[in-house]
Chains A and B, each alone.
Chain A
Amino acid sequence: MEWSKEQMDEKEQLQKVKDTARPTVGILILTTGTVLLMFSLALSISLGAADIDFNTVWGTIFHFNPNSVDHQIIWELRIPRVIGAAIVGSCFAVSGALMQGMTRNPLADSGLLGLNAGAAFMLALCFAFFPGLSYSYVIVFSFLGAALGAGIVYGVGSLSENGLTPIRLVLAGAAVSALLGALSEGIALYFEIGQDLAFWYAGGVSGTTWGQLKVVTPWLCIALLGAIALSRSITILSLGEEVAIGLGERMGRVKLLSAVIILVLAGAAVSVVGAVSFVGLIVPHLARRLVGHDYRWIIPASAMLGALLVVLADLTARIINPPYETPIGALIALLGVPFFLYLARKGGGNV
């Protein structure tokens, strides 16, 4: 096939991204990440209000004994919780990576752009009007909420004459989060469900059950596979619209699919853990620093690093001030805010 000069340039850009990608680092992250994750999961299961040694943890998993209190604590409370933390971390991180790549916005994060607040608002409505709704429906409301938040933020952003600048989107996200947060609080006060909802504002995985995991996991798997399938197109989109058009990428379809995946990931994560910000901001930047700009590596690496981050945050949350649990949303924000300021000051950096 004959390539015109422009197409050659675009080809070269893409090739450059591929050449600068570091697959060895990527594979290293995935392998050592798996080992580290296993180790942190085990550590996280055995530490807690009642310390349980590794042997018992091992025993619970392979020879479950329903009569042992330790085994029951591990099986019913600790294991769902740590798996939940890992899943939520992956969801937030991958949704952040997709948003940053697709919109070429280095400040994109489901928390900053109003998706989390939207999902939390819908959950508040759910608890108010349909108490006792089964979790498989609740999660769908959570997706819709994320779509609502994102829709308002992007709508307002695109109404403006200068279009969707990253900073404008963050400002719109802050205002939409303030609005939806205030409405949720109002609903909580009116229906007296503040107790149920407080947990969602602060962010915590302590309430995760096997039932929730069974509902969330299929969504997560489909969305993650979808994200990996789209990763090549995301790399092209991250080079800019001109390049993408030049390379014959069908942008409309890719953007729509990515948007659906982002909403599913963010919605699912919020329905488990609550509105936790900054995971989707920090992790993709870190992954990009490590593996280069090829999204075929950024997405799996983000999933791994995100899981590690939230599992470790949850572990810290439990041991920092026992017997109380510090909300992990707050802990991650303490990391995320300086990072955000650094990015905003630098003017974003590369996506």
Chain B
Amino acid sequence: MTNKQWKTTSQLKKERQVKLTALLLFILISVCFFISLNTGHIRLSPQETLITLFGQGTEQQSLILFDFRLPRMVIAILVGMGLAVSGAVLQGIVRNPLAEPGIIGINAGAGLAVMLFISFFATVSDAPVFVMPIIAFIGAGGAALIIYILSYKRHEGISPIRLVLTGIAIAAGIDALMIVLTLRLDPENYQFLATWIAGSIWGSNWKFVLALLPWLLVFLPFIYSKSSVLNILTLGDETAIGLGAHMEKERRILLILAVIVAAACVSVSGGIGFVGLIAPHLTRGLVGDKHEYIIPISAMVGGLLLLVADTLGRWMMQPSEIPAGIIVAVIGAPYFLYLLAKTKD
């Protein structure tokens, strides 16, 4: 197998293209990061920002930068990365461009669980933050399981479009249930929940970065190691079945991984949809169909997307803020419609 050891020129070219894309995205993220640091209710000039970053700023300046803006931006990037990878995995395993953690009810399930959880505590600040990703995962997993069962038909298996349809319906049902239940919450918890659902990155605190980071550090590399499995699954069910029943097991494992990552993200960011839809798509346009490339690049695209959305949300109508979830929906929904018009089945 000599041709496996020697990379063809087209492969080399592809790799160079991917590296270039990664570099470009990195530069874009850095630029946005710097702009985002300057954006907000209290303006800091670029020099002030730099000075403060190196520890020479006034106390107020470093408070704004290190305790408010930085953690929030780090969370935006991490959540964007997680949601994008989760979306890439989902699209790979159901082989449908419309699959996305928000659309298929993961956000709603996580929201319901988080809501039930915080209603046991007098105030939100009493609730232990580090447990939230687990709680969100239980809700998201429950919702995903219900959707999976309901869209399964004997002899036909899971049809992607039925999966998306069931997801939309379950999300509507859970939303309704949440509205009915919210009336029993006290005002402070209610306010928290309302902002949570709208998808503002509310956890602007290093505590939340710490709560989210381990999940991503463990599961994103794990998903990356499954790239070749994803490549096979994307080829189509016939090919995958030909390779043995063990593909069905891999498909389930990947589904669980995607739910875990999305749930962890959503538990700190709130209901942000469409990132997992847009980012993998743009990425496929940039680097092709290989998941070895799609996963890292779509993580970068997702991080960039959510960072930009959050920054725009802070900048557009100061002093009030628009939740990043709204901005992403305004960009994402037309994109979804465009894809819907393009897909055939």
Contact = CB atoms under 8 A, between A and B. Distances in A.
Given A156-B340, A179-B333, A189-B320, A334 B177 contact: yes
Given A182-B330, A190-B317, 11 more contacts: A172-B340, A178-B336, A182-B333, A185-B198, A190-B322, A192-B320, A324-B183, A327-B180, A333-B172, A334-B173, A341-B170
A4 to B, nearest CB: 37
B168 interface: yes
Q: Provide the main secondary structure of the chain B interface.
A: helix
A171 interface: yes
Contacts of A183: 330
A334 to B, nearest CB: 5
Given A175-B333, A178-B329, A189 B176 contact: no
Interface stretch (B15-23, B48-56, B159-167): B159-167
Contacts of A179: 329-330, 333-334, 337
| Chain B: interface size category | 35 or more
A176 to B, nearest CB: 7
Given A156-B337, A176-B337, A333-B176, A345 B168 contact: no
A161 interface: yes
Contacts of B70: none
B1 interface: no
Interface in B231-263: none
The 4 closest A-B pairs by CB, nearest first: A179-B333, A337-B173, A333-B176, A182-B329
Interface string A160-192: 111000011011101110110111011001101
Interface of A: 152, 156-157, 159-162, 167-168, 170-172, 174-176, 178-179, 181-183, 185-186, 189-190, 192, 202, 277, 320-321, 324, 326-327, 329-331, 333-334, 336-338, 340-341, 344-345
A345 B150 contact: yes
Given A160-B342, A321-B183, A324-B183, A178 B333 contact: yes
26 contacts: A156-B340, A156-B341, A160-B344, A167-B162, A171-B340, A172-B337, A172-B340, A175-B334, A178-B332, A178-B336, A179-B329, A182-B333, A186-B322, A186-B326, A189-B322, A190-B317, A202-B179, A320-B180, A330-B177, A330-B179, A331-B176, A334-B173, A336-B172, A337-B176, A344-B162, A345-B150
B175 interface: yes
Nearest to B273: A178
Given A277-B172, A344-B162, A326 B180 contact: yes
A136 B323 CA distance: 33
A45 to B, nearest CB: 23
B10 interface: no
Nearest to B198: A185
B165 A170 contact: yes
B170 A175 contact: no
Contacts of B24: none
A57 B334 CA distance: 51
Contacts of A321: 183-184
Contact of B173 (A192, A329, A333): A333
A159 B198 CA distance: 31
A345 B333 contact: no
B176 A167 contact: no
B169 interface: yes
Interface in B129-184: 150, 153, 161-162, 164-166, 168-170, 172-173, 175-177, 179-180, 183-184
B343 interface: yes
Contacts of A331: 176, 180
A324 B181 CA distance: 11
Nearest to A326: B180
Given A330-B176, A341-B150, A345-B153, A168 B168 contact: no
Contacts of A327: 179-180
B98 interface: yes
B161 to A, nearest CB: 6
Nearest to A190: B317
Contact of B333 (A167, A176, A189, A336): A176
Contacts of B184: 321
Contacts of B326: 182, 185-186, 189
Given A156-B341, A179-B334, A171 B172 contact: no
Contacts of B172: 277, 333, 336-337
A167 B180 contact: no
Contacts of A333: 172-173, 175-176
A302 B33 CA distance: 56
A337 B169 contact: yes
A182 B273 CA distance: 11
Contacts of B337: 152, 156, 172, 175-176, 179
Given A156-B337, A168-B340, A329 B168 contact: no
A15 B146 CA distance: 43
A171 B168 contact: yes
Interface in B284-337: 317, 320-323, 325-326, 329-330, 332-334, 336-337
Nearest to B178: A330
Nearest to A343: B169
Contact of B344 (A161, A182, A192): A161
B169 to A, nearest CB: 5
Nearest to A344: B165
A65 B245 CA distance: 78
Contacts of B332: 178
A170 to B, nearest CB: 6
A338 B174 CA distance: 11
B115 to A, nearest CB: 14
A170 B98 CA distance: 13
A172 B340 CA distance: 7
